[in-house]
Amino acid sequence: MTMTKSNNLKVVKLALLLGIFSTLGPFTIDMYLPAFPEIVKQYETTASLVQLSLTACLLGLGIGQLVMGSMSDVYGRRGPLLISMAVYAIASLACAFSPNIGLLIVFRFVQGFAASAGIVISRAIARDLYSGHELTKFFSMLLLVGNLGPLVAPVTGSGILTFTNWKGVFVMLAVLGIYLLTMTKWGLQETLPSDQRRPSNFMQQLQNYGLLLRDRQFVGYMLAQGIMIAGVFAYVSGTPFIYQNIYGASPTVFALLFGSNGISLIIGSQLVGRMAHRVSEHTFLLIGLLLACVASVAVLIVALFHGPLIALVIPLFCFVAAIGITSTAAFPLAMESQSHMAGSAAALLGVIPFLLGAIVSPLVGIAGEDTAVPLGVIILLTSVSAMLAYFFLGKKAPTTSSLK
Tens-digit pLDDT profile for residues 337-388: 666 677 778 788 877 877 787 777 777 766 556 677 888 889 899 999 999 9
Give domain status of residue 198, yes or no: no
pLDDT at 153 over 90: no
Residue 83 sits in a domain of what CATH number?
1.20.1250.20
With bands split at pLDDT 50, 70 and 90, how would you rate the model's confidence at 292? very high
**DSSP code of 199?**
P
pLDDT at residue number 366: 64
Give domain status of residue 176, yes or no: yes
Give domain status of residue 199, yes or no: no
Contact between 53 and 104 (Cβ < 8 Å): yes
Q: What is the distance between the alpha carbons of residues 16 and 25, in angstroms, rounded to a whole number? A: 15
The segment with the largest mean pLDDT, out of 1-10, 123-132, 192-201, is 123-132
Q: CA dihedral in degrees (337, 338, 340, 345; nearest 10)?
A: 180
For the beta carbon of residue 64, count every other beta carbon within 10 angstroms.
28
Helix axes 251-274, 148-161, angle to 10 degrees: 160
Give domain status of residue 404, yes or no: no
Q: What is the distance between the alpha carbons of residues 298 and 329, in angstroms, rounded to a whole number? A: 24
Contact between 29 and 154 (Cβ < 8 Å): no
Choose among 25, 19, 18, 103: nearest CA to 65: 25
Give domain status of residue 79, yes or no: yes
pLDDT at 400 over 60: no
- Name the percent of the chain in helix, strand, coil, to the closest 5: 85, 0, 15
pLDDT at residue number 301: 94
Q: What are the tens digits of pLDDT across the range 294-329?
A: 999 999 999 898 888 899 989 999 998 998 899 888
Contact between 54 and 73 (Cβ < 8 Å): no
Q: What is the distance between the alpha carbons of residues 47 and 361, in angstroms, rounded to a whole number? A: 12
pTM across the whole model: 0.69
pLDDT at 1 over 50: no
Give domain status of residue 206, yes or no: no
Give domain status of residue 295, yes or no: yes
Distance in angstroms between the alpha carbons of the first and the last residue of the chain? 29
Q: Helices (DSSP H) in 242-308: which residue ranges?
A: 251-274, 281-304
Q: What is the distance between the alpha carbons of residues 220 and 391, in angstroms, rounded to a whole number? A: 8
Neighbouring residues of 130: CB distance < 8 A, sequence distance ≥ 6: 138
Q: Which of 275-279, 317-321, 334-338 is the least confident region?
A: 334-338
Choose among 162, 213, 245: nearest CA to 352: 213
Choose among 68, 363, 400: nearest CA to 205: 68
| Residue 204, SS3 per DSSP | helix
For the beta carbon of residue 187, count every other beta carbon within 10 angstroms.
12
Q: Following DSSP, what letter does each residue of 95-151 receive, concatenated?
A: HHT-SSHHHHHHHHHHHHHHHHHHHHHHHHHHHHH--HHHHHHHHHHHHHHHTHHHH
Q: What is the distance between the alpha carbons of residues 361 and 206, in angstroms, rounded to a whole number? A: 28
Q: Range of 359's domain? A: 2-188+211-393
Give domain status of residue 323, yes or no: yes
Note every long-range contact of 158-165, with CB atoms under 8 Å and residues 24 or more positions apart, other chains counting.
Answer: 158/34, 158/251, 158/252, 158/254, 158/255, 159/255, 160/31, 161/34, 161/35, 161/38, 161/251, 162/252, 165/35, 165/38, 165/42
- Count up the domains in the chain and report the number: 1
